Structure 1
Amino acid sequence: MSDPIRQPDSGNATISQEDAVRLVELLAQTSTYEGDHLAKKRFLLDGLCRLVDATQWSWAINVFDEDCKPHHAGALQGGFSLEQAECLATCVNHPATHRVFAPTYQRIFTQPEPLTIRMEDHAGAAEWEKSEASALAAAAGIGTFVSSICAVEDHGSSTVTLFRPYGEPPFTDRQRDMLHIIIRGVPWLHTAGWPEDARVHQIAELPTSHMVLLTLLVKGYSRQDIADVRLLSINTVNTYTQRIFKMFGVRSQPELMRCFLEGQPEPANDGTDSS
């Protein structure tokens, strides 16, 4: 029986020779793709989705408070509508999500390497499927997922997740291993763009309603769009936005986005050079 959680030193990957060729091609294309680390990250994750039959992806920044409770700010995503992006931001900051996935997040701080795990392989998967957070995701058409989770700094983590629509079958061992191999080939997928600004750690102080708004602002959605999808008045959204700006010491949405998205670029050797 295969290990449900992949780690970089685990062997016996389930991929075929054809899979390996396609992964190498994707890595090579990414290494020559013109653009900054954010553009390369989007290109790589779009390509990986095609290889493993995923329809959506996200890269999230997680900061842990003193009780090891994660606070998620989704930095990048692909394939989500505004409604789905709002739902995902709500779900990942839901108490049920914190409770169910806490053992996995605690585990990453006991080892230096990333974990690659499918939704069904989390210890609390059965509880998650019965939770309000899971029901919210299902209502928005967001289904099963596979994630790579990597500890960054002392109290943070990066999570790269691929999704399928609700009702689609789980990712296979083979598809999980393909994500795992990509992470090994381009470790900057987790670390490139990680915010260097210490103010980012303040997300642990935000209430859930503000966390969802922060995530949507960082993704570039307008205040009016956010008001519409959150069923809030524009005045309420403006008030919350100004509180967020004040907390992070910024004066505009573009400045807030730079605070979260302009981090350390990927190294010159992106992992595809075998020399």
Structure 2
Amino acid sequence: MNRTTELFKSEAYLQNNLRLFVNRATEDFNVPFHSHEFIEYCYVAQGKGYHHIENETFPVHKGMLYVIPVGISHVFRPSTPGPAGEPLIVYNCLFDNYMVDRLSPILLDDPVQEHLKSLCGGNERSSASSYFNAFDRDGSIESIMQRLYREMSVPSIGSATMLLSLVSQLAITVYRLKYGDADKRSADAADFTNVIQYIGEHLSEPITLSDLSHISRWSIRHLQRLFQRHSGQSFGSYLQNARIHKSCELLRGSSRKVSVIAELVGYRDIDSFNAVFKKIVGQSPSEYRSLQGG
């Protein structure tokens, strides 16, 4: 649906030295569908309604946070017209690239700085797809918004410094909500590589999830999830396959006895080794070695 879009200019809202504006608004049907020359963080503090962004409509309720980049069109609407229903109340925090520059000495993490700069526009990442929402699971965003609103409404000594600190807290908290899980998965993947390496280097020894939990400092349950995520197998299946894979290498590349190879990959009982090897490879160790020309 094509809508008429009004442009909200920075000079109408960002009139202080920080070029920052924070308000607590009761949404109605009078505010026009609009875009703006600044970044907007919108937090739903009360009620239910709808958030129209570009050509999409999202139902909203308390705890939802939206980040609207420069140039993206949107508007909030309450669920029902008139005063009958519960009002839809939204905290809005507005700032532009001037504030982003002011935050640079505070925000020491490059990903957060780059994220804020992308919201200002001027690069390929700033597009209609760059708006996003997050949910305030623990009330931390609401607390920051309330403190921003109070500091903005009743300024006192140190307010400029406090506001800069609160905006940086808002940006970091929201960034963590949006991207923290992905960052954690990346860190998990890097650390899980060390777990896999440990297994490969200790195949001749008994290895349990409890051992790996102690080494990695992850819980056994989390390790089980990581094995499933990164290998598609349970820990037991992964370990069994790793041992048989290593035994195949030794059968091909050495003349050691099968019983010795079984011990080198962690099997103290030759019958158990033979049974597992045949189950996975489809041949006995001796047949495998013979077919490999060993």
Query: TM-score, normalised on structure 2?
Result: 0.22
**Which structure's relative contact order is higher, taking Cα pairs within 8 Å and 6+ residues apart?**
1
Larger radius of gyration: 2
For normalisation by structure 1, the TM-score amounts to 0.23
